[in-house]
A and B are shown apart, each in its own frame.
Chain A
Amino acid sequence: MTRPILLKGGRVIDPSRDLDEAADVLIQDGKIAGVGRGLSAPDGADVRNVQGKIVVPGLVDLHVHLREPGNEDEETVASGARAAAAGGFTAICAMPNTDPVTDNQAAVGFIVRQSGRAGGARVHPIGAVSIGQKGERLAEFGEMVSAGAVAVSDDGKPVVSSHLMRTALEYARTFNIPVADHCEDPTLASGGVMHEGLVSTRLGLKGIPSAAEEIMVARDVLLAELTGGHVHLCHMSARGSVAIIREAKERGIRVTAEVTPHHLTLTDHACEEYDTHAKMNPPLREAADVAALRGALKDGVIDCIASDHAPHAYDEKEAAFDDAPFGVVGSRRRSGSRTPSSWRPASSRCPS
């Protein structure tokens, strides 16, 4: 038996109960035993004063990249689960762009088993849309769901073929799972390393225009409408995407969307001086995009914050900007990032 814990005087936020007030939280036998004002401490309780701090239910991160199997030097299921727990997450969803790709029942089962051994945050695998994420043939959604997959995605790459995306959205309806898409027109984004704009012009770096994302967002929304499937749009970065999603939701299309903490707080100016830590895909865009994304999160047009945690070995980022990999560490920093207090922790509300 562990000692009961009483958290006193924190700001308790629980969107599932529409709760946002100063209160105490009592934890007994590893469970929430009571939430309210002026709770008294049971005998032997560990009483902690958390005034000025936020107390929330375990957060869910819908979008992380664990590098196991394939690149265990960068991250493993166990290290990712521990990093997430350190950041306040009790569950994370792992993208399938591992090596080999998590595109079958056995591979999904492996992640589930590794998660069970690791402890820390629970890891829910996301299976691939297509075999090998090659964008050609559908992976076995049913088999993967039976092994524990909660969604499908070819994240890291877009589903380029509109026909394949249509088929995936239709087929996923059988299993009631969303198809999560990395929205990027590869012919427009090809060779780009940052947002296309004045900063990329000054730095002499090849840009990725916002239209590369917006075109795919528009396509996915139209295909969700056509098929009745649920499309989930990963890591939105452009204000044009927000406008398309807003309109789609008004029309009742089954679309959900996520945004990362870095796209809510940083702009392409972070790439100045060729700081490779600011190299990510989709790229950091402009102040007007950040403002639109924040507004969309507040209005519920964007449903949740997800980290897109994508760790790389430290020395891989120690390179010229063109040569450095895309990606940024997100999980561990999430709860400590500059999150305005007016934002609600939307992760736990997301329907995925």
Chain B
Amino acid sequence: MTASSTLGKDLTGLEHMTPEQIRLILDTAEPFKEVSERPIKKVPALRGKTIVNLFFEASTRTRISFEFAEKRLSADTVNVAASGSSVSKGETLVDTARNLEAMRIDMVVIRHGSSGAAEFLGNRIASNVINAGDGKHEHPTQALLDLLTIRDKHGKIEGLKVCLVGDVLHSRVARSNIWGLSKLGAEVGVCGPWTLLPRGIEDLGVKVFGRIEEAIEWADVLNVLRLQLERMEKGFIPSLREYYRVFGVTPERLERAPRDITIMHPGPMNRGVEIDSRVADGPHSVILDQVTNGVAVRMAVLYLLAGGRAELADAAKRGGGSE
């Protein structure tokens, strides 16, 4: 069995993946978690593979997480940080793709400001393409690490009520989470000011909450999205202060919840805007577990796309190859 029959060539989003494929990635991530706990954090699974991390948008966490995942699998990696879009630099995305192809690389991890950029690249090069965030479309590895973290904490995903809070309109994390959670049987809610909720969102099968109090009343898990400061500059909300007052996730609000609510955040956080520090640092926060799981999930994705077999992940971890 090869990668093409399990995950396909690329990982561009969760919308078109099957529940089995998503579970395969989560299950494959499990044995890779342990690698990062070792004194020598390296296995030879991707030895000889070359990977380009192509980041057209600034990123610290996701880029470093991918880079650790690649290095811990022994791949050779190159980071390309292109500030702004390739178009503004004068080279088109398709030319960038052709140049990468000409250098015979094995995989590309791409982050780009335009929705669809990862799919665009994947359709034009033979290498595996992994979407590390494309515009407002998807950020699949973030949703996968969120799923793994929820599963670790609750022992299951099916039947849980998970609410995405905040700027759903501009969030690729929200879209990938909606697909992933729905496919694994969770109930999904979204909550935020109506200016930051996209048209037609309820047709994706999610519950919509106009007030944070209602979402807290309903949810088992809150995934609090980052509120980008430019949303205020563009006039989607009048002020950060008011946003915190109306939509901030605070201990006072959580105290009224009928159950303990698991708190997640994809980072980076704006403390005191979308989330109160006492919540972010509190006992029900799994925000740092998300970061830890990010490396394991990305190792699993890289390993599976490179042709690794799930049942060999344990063996690979102990020193076997990916073939």
Q: Mark A184-220, 1 if CB is under 8 A from B, else 0.
A: 0000000000001110111111110100000000000
Q: Mark B191-210, 1 if CB is under 8 A from A, else 0.
A: 00000001111011000000
Which of B85, B135, B199 touches A201 (beta carbons < 8 Å)? B199
CB-based contact B199/A196 at 8 Å: yes
CB-based contact B117/A320 at 8 Å: yes
Verify if A46 is at the interface (C-beta below 8 Å from B).
no
CB-based contact A274/B115 at 8 Å: yes
CB-based contact B203/A198 at 8 Å: yes
Nearest B residue to A271 via CB reads B116
Stretch in contact with the other chain, from B87-95, B280-288, B313-321: B87-95
A274 to B115, CA, bound (A): 8
**Given the complex, which residues of A lie within 8 Å of B204, measured CB to CB?**
198, 201-202
Verify if B119 is at the interface (C-beta below 8 Å from A).
yes
A209 to B200, CA, bound (A): 12
What distance in Å separates the Cβ of A342 from its nearest Cβ neighbour in chain B? 32
Verify if A18 is at the interface (C-beta below 8 Å from B).
no
Nearest A residue to B138 via CB reads A204
**Given the complex, which residues of B lie within 8 Å of A247, measured CB to CB?**
none
List CB contacts (< 8 Å) of B196-254 with chain A. 198-201, 203-204
How would you classify the secondary structure of chain A's contact residues: helix, strand, loop or mixed? loop
**Given the complex, which residues of A lie within 8 Å of B289, measured CB to CB?**
none
**Given the complex, which residues of A lie within 8 Å of B93, measured CB to CB?**
319-320, 323
- Known A196-B199, A319-B94; contact A204-B136, beta-carbon cutoff 8 A: yes
**Given the complex, which residues of B lie within 8 Å of A320, measured CB to CB?**
93, 112, 114-117, 120
Nearest A residue to B136 via CB reads A204
Verify if A43 is at the interface (C-beta below 8 Å from B).
no
CB-based contact B199/A323 at 8 Å: no
What distance in Å separates the Cβ of A347 from its nearest Cβ neighbour in chain B? 34
Which of B92, B113, B172, B200 touches A197 (beta carbons < 8 Å)? B200
**Given the complex, which residues of B lie within 8 Å of A20, measured CB to CB?**
none
Verify if A315 is at the interface (C-beta below 8 Å from B).
yes
Nearest B residue to A197 via CB reads B200
Please give the number of chain A residues whose Cβ is less than 8 angstroms from any Cβ of chain B in the complex. Answer: 21
Verify if B175 is at the interface (C-beta below 8 Å from A).
yes
CB-based contact B120/A204 at 8 Å: no
CB-based contact B134/A204 at 8 Å: yes
Verify if A321 is at the interface (C-beta below 8 Å from B).
yes
CB-based contact A315/B134 at 8 Å: no
Q: Mark B164-197, 1 if CB is under 8 A from A, else 0.
A: 0000000010010000000000000000000000
What distance in Å separates the Cβ of A187 from its nearest Cβ neighbour in chain B? 11
Verify if A136 is at the interface (C-beta below 8 Å from B).
no
CB-based contact A197/B135 at 8 Å: no
Verify if A250 is at the interface (C-beta below 8 Å from B).
no
- Known A274-B116, A318-B94, A322-B114; contact A205-B203, beta-carbon cutoff 8 A: no
Please give the number of chain B residues whose Cβ is less than 8 angstroms from any Cβ of chain A in the complex. Answer: 27
**Given the complex, which residues of A lie within 8 Å of B117, measured CB to CB?**
320
What distance in Å separates the Cβ of B189 from its nearest Cβ neighbour in chain A? 16
A206 to B198, CA, bound (A): 10
Verify if A73 is at the interface (C-beta below 8 Å from B).
no
Verify if B137 is at the interface (C-beta below 8 Å from A).
yes
- Known A197-B199, A315-B92, A319-B87; contact A204-B112, beta-carbon cutoff 8 A: no
What distance in Å separates the Cβ of B233 from its nearest Cβ neighbour in chain A? 14
CB-based contact B135/A202 at 8 Å: no
A202 to B114, CA, bound (A): 14
**Given the complex, which residues of A lie within 8 Å of B76, measured CB to CB?**
none
Verify if A299 is at the interface (C-beta below 8 Å from B).
no
What distance in Å separates the Cβ of A152 from its nearest Cβ neighbour in chain B? 34
Verify if A29 is at the interface (C-beta below 8 Å from B).
no
**Given the complex, which residues of B lie within 8 Å of A273, measured CB to CB?**
116, 119
Nearest B residue to A201 via CB reads B198
Verify if B15 is at the interface (C-beta below 8 Å from A).
yes
- Known A320-B93, A320-B120, A322-B135; contact A205-B115, beta-carbon cutoff 8 A: yes
List CB contacts (< 8 Å) of A248-274 with chain B. 273-274
Tell me which of B135, B138, B204 has the highest count of chain A C-beta atoms within 10 A of its own C-beta: B135
CB-based contact B85/A323 at 8 Å: yes
**Given the complex, which residues of B lie within 8 Å of A197, measured CB to CB?**
199-200
Which of B137, B201, B203 touches A203 (beta carbons < 8 Å)? B137
A322 to B117, CA, bound (A): 9
CB-based contact B115/A322 at 8 Å: yes
What distance in Å separates the Cβ of B174 from its nearest Cβ neighbour in chain A? 10
What distance in Å separates the Cβ of B158 from its nearest Cβ neighbour in chain A? 23
**Given the complex, which residues of A lie within 8 Å of B203, measured CB to CB?**
198
Which 5 residue pairs spanning A and B have beta carbons closest together? A274-B116, A204-B137, A198-B200, A204-B136, A320-B114
Selected A-B contacts with CB under 8 Å, 30 pairs:
A198-B203, A200-B198, A200-B200, A201-B204, A202-B175, A202-B204, A203-B115, A203-B137, A204-B115, A204-B116, A204-B134, A204-B137, A204-B138, A204-B172, A205-B115, A205-B135, A205-B136, A207-B199, A274-B120, A318-B92, A319-B87, A319-B93, A319-B94, A320-B93, A320-B117, A321-B114, A322-B116, A322-B135, A323-B93, A323-B114
Interface residues of A (CB under 8 A from B): 196-198, 200-207, 209, 273-274, 315, 318-323
**A206-B136, A319-B94, A322-B114 known, 17 other contacts, Cβ within 8 Å:** A196-B199, A198-B203, A201-B204, A202-B175, A202-B204, A203-B115, A204-B137, A205-B116, A207-B199, A274-B119, A274-B120, A318-B92, A319-B93, A320-B117, A321-B115, A321-B116, A322-B115
